[in-house]
Every structure is written in C-alpha cells, then in structure tokens.
A and B are shown apart, each in its own frame.
Chain A
C-alpha cells in the first residue's frame, strides 16, 4: 500500500493564480480531510469528506474548494491564491466510524508559497 499520497511536494504560485493540490489514498478509507500547518498554529482543518459525494467545511475553508467523486481521491482547489495561503498542506484519511475514524493517516504534505 502506498498509503496517502500528495502531489506536488512543492509549488510556487503568483497571487491570483489557481491550482489543485492532489491527494489519493489506497486504503479504502471513507473519511478524508485537508489541513494546513502554519508556524505556531498547529494543523487547522480546511475541508473534510465522509464519503464520495459528501464534503463539508472545517475551521478555515475560505479560498478553498473540494469535491469527492471517488473514494480514493480528494483534491483541494485554490481558487485565487493569496499570500496568506502560503503554508504546508496535509491530506489525511481514516476509516469510518468509532475509534478508527479519529486515527488519521497523513500524507507527506505539499509546501505552497504564494508570492
């Protein structure tokens, strides 16, 4: 199993550009989430999904869009990049229901810089 994979590893964008961060998992996990990590802030939840076709907002959803057409993939779209979106982005997945849903598996992250 590859686990949770994210592409790209690094990205530099100019203000106003759009892009999609890719996330895929091969563990047949129903739950998938996107977090961003900023210095001194820990990880903050952006969007999450409890299954294909179902998504919801987390703590910091503004400026981001998600969709979940398959169990495996959960892309994160930046609609119009801003310097405040400079961060490290992590995708995570977990099984559905009970204790297993809390124990999330994380991808290696995408480091995004917006100039």
Chain B
C-alpha cells in the first residue's frame, strides 16, 4: 500500500519553462513533507520542505505547494534549467516523537529539461 504516490514516472520540459511535479498522499497523520533530488550514481539530496501548517514554501527557483484537504503537494521549478534534470522524490513524515528520522517516499519522477 503506497502511502505516498507520484503518478507521473517522467516529465519533459523546455529550458526556461515551468516544471510542475506532483505528489499525493493517503495518510492523514503525515504533517511534514519534503522533496529530494537525485542524480544517477549519487544519493538523494534535500531540496525543499513544507510543514502542514503552511500551504506554500519558496526557496529561489523552487516552490512547494501543499493542499491538505486534497492530500496533494506539488513542486514548481521556475525557470527550469538543464542542470535540474534528475529524479525527484516526494517524501512525508508523521508528527514528532517516534516519527522523527522516518520518511516515506514516493516512487520518483524523472525530470528532463531540454536546452
């Protein structure tokens, strides 16, 4: 039972345009959400996060939006650059206590940005 789902295995966009990556979750106990980026033959690296008390968090070209009622989050990259080409994983965690340090990941979306 996949509690975090990324339904698009891949996304292709033109350089300079917006990339929108989507993620859905089913567990209403999740209250912290993260996006990780992964290049081939490397480990994932943390990109941006959002707490359930917010609906938007911005960091430079990256913005994460959270819609709690729909159990949906999205990552916007504007403008997209060829160096953004990677696999993007959505991840979620429950509230505090024994949930610290435990992440549930989605399947990943391969983003390709064409020059």
Contact = CB atoms under 8 A, between A and B. Distances in A.
Contacts of B42: 108-109
Contact of B101 (A33, A40, A107): A33
A68 interface: no
Interface size, B (range):
20 to 34
Interface centre among A31, A32, A43 (most CB of B within 10 A): A43
Chain A binding surface, main DSSP class: strand
A71 interface: no
Interface residues of A, number: 31
B105 A50 contact: no
Nearest to B89: A42
Interface in B92-112: 93, 98, 100-108
Contacts of A96: 100-101
B46 to A, nearest CB: 5
B106 to A, nearest CB: 5
A28 B20 CA distance: 36
